[in-house]
Copies of this chain bind each other. A is one copy, B any other.
């Protein structure tokens, strides 16, 4: 991952110029193995034990101020040009470094709205403020969430390639799931077989293994972020799987749904195929609305209205989120303007962003869910892997 950290730090310098922020304290933290933060995989590259400050300036300097015992591992990443060790107190070195740059504004990695850009604890923020209290700089601390959000969101070619690879790996797992279906198989067994396959390939899961994958069999299954149950597959059930893997630091997040017809059904019943057609139309409407410059909420709104116009309830969730080192990668959200989402739905879609597009509908045969991963190009969306176009019937 070190080459990604180095490339992202170069990108950070450009973003500081674009957003007119002279100096950014990328991370100010301690014991980051115990309290990991999303920014460290993106722009630091290692954990540290003692209080440490990682700083980038718009003029291209990068400085790490770390406890002496952390110097070797930070130097090992090779991302920060100037690594300064201290023994007793980080304050003097930090103040000297900031005074030397004399910035008009100091970006700090916190955010009200974007959890992925909210990367400093309140205790460390208080300490930072106190360390600068006798200087002109305590009053110049500002949130750096615009820069950090853009840094996460604007994917480099190497990042796009990794996410695509993870998505392709996920499609392989879906193929394996489909071929493993048999009457009586339980949600838990499907999840276990995915865990085994992921572990045997040396991959990781993209989110909490308690509900990655989420598996729903039939209408008897519970809804939401809930672990797979003992519910067993019967004729006439839908099988829905929401699955993401993490490979070389980057995540996929896809959903697929299958139908298991009864012996006397030639195909899936209208009670399933009708909502499936509406669902695909909704996601396609979102896909066509996804282009650089639009606000996130408008894309959600276009797709959402396809469902409500067809008589379905408002989905309680967003159409899509960004995808990257985290499954929920923060930044602009393709979601409704609800308080719980802050102002992220007001953010703009940009070239180089990668989004999920996902909705679901309840049916009498169970949950029907589809999710795709889409790159935004200058010309609009581009599916990272082939989308689900038909409800596959698995005859058992």
Residues of chain A having any CB pair with chain B under 8 Å: 30-31, 33-38, 46-47, 49-51, 67-73, 76, 86-91, 108, 110-113, 115-127, 143, 207-208, 210-211, 222-227, 316-317, 326-328, 338-340
Contacts and interface: CB of A to CB of B under 8 A. Distances in A.
B123 A121 contact: no
28 contacts: A31-B116, A31-B326, A31-B328, A34-B38, A35-B37, A35-B38, A35-B119, A49-B328, A67-B340, A69-B224, A70-B224, A71-B224, A72-B224, A72-B226, A76-B226, A87-B338, A87-B340, A88-B338, A110-B121, A110-B126, A112-B123, A112-B126, A112-B127, A117-B123, A118-B123, A119-B121, A121-B121, A122-B122
A345 B127 CA distance: 17
A225 B339 CA distance: 43
A88 B222 contact: no
Contacts of A338: 87-89
A91 B339 contact: yes
Contacts of A34: 38, 115-116, 326-328
Contacts of A111: 123
B33 A208 contact: yes
Contacts of A118: 35, 121-124
A30 B89 contact: no
Contact of A227 (B51, B73, B124, B143): B73
A88 B337 CA distance: 9
A111 B37 CA distance: 17
10 cross-chain pairs, A with B, having the tightest CB-CB distances, nearest first: A89-B339, A72-B226, A118-B123, A122-B125, A110-B122, A69-B224, A34-B326, A88-B338, A31-B115, A118-B121
A347 to B, nearest CB: 16
Contacts of A76: 226-227
Contacts of A110: 121-123, 126
